[in-house]
Amino acid sequence: MRDGALSYGRRPNPIVRIFVASPNGGEPRAMDTGAETDIYIPRVSWLTDSKHLAIQRLNRTQTTLDLLIAEAATGKTRAALSENDPNWINVSDDLYSSRTASAFCGPASAAGIATCICVTSMANNCAAHQG
C-alpha cells in the first residue's frame, strides 16, 4: 500500500457547478449557485417554460436548504425560499412545476408538517406563497 492511499477524508470536497448548454451550440452557461462552494446540489429541474431551472442548494452540514430559480439564458439566480433546521433537512424528490410555468411547488417540512410552497418565477420577480 502506498503512503496516504486511504486518506480520502483529507482531500477537499469537489466543487459542484450547474451548466446549461444550448442545443444550437456555443459555450455552456454556468448557473450562479452562490459564493459558497462547499455545498450540495441535490436536485435540479427545468420549469415548464424551458427558460428557468429550479435548483436546490444544501449546505454541507445539511441544515439549510435554498430553492434557487435560475434564468437559463443569463445564469442569474434568485433565492425563492429557504428552509432551516438546527438538526437536519430532509431533501425531497417531490418537486413539481405547474403547466402554466408561473409556479413551482415543492413540500417544506417546517415543524414536521408537509406543506406545499408555490414559487412564482417571473423575469424580475420571485415570490414564495405557502398554502
| Percent share of the chain, pLDDT over 90 | 41
Residue 108, pLDDT > 80, answer: no
Burial class from Cβ neighbours inside 10 Å (0-12, 13-18, 19+) for residue 63 reads: middle
Which secondary-structure segment (H or E) carries 44?
Answer: strand 39-46
Q: Is the distance from CB of 117 to CB of 54 less than 8 angstroms?
A: no
Highest averaged pLDDT of the listed ranges 3-12, 50-59, 96-105:
50-59
User: How do the residues of the chain divide into helix, strand and coil, expressed in percent and rounded to 5?
Assistant: 5, 45, 50
Q: Which CATH number fits domain 8-130: 3.40.50.300, 1.10.760.10, 2.120.10.30, 3.10.20.600?
A: 2.120.10.30
Whole-prediction pTM: 0.76
Instruction: Provide the pLDDT confidence category of residue 131 given band limits of 50, 70 and 90.
Output: very low
- Specify the pLDDT at position 115: 57
Dig out the grid coordinates for 121 from the structure.
418565477
For the chain, the domains span: 8-130
pLDDT score, position 92: 74
Rounded Cα distance, 68 and 81, in Å: 7
Rounded mean pLDDT, 79-91: 87
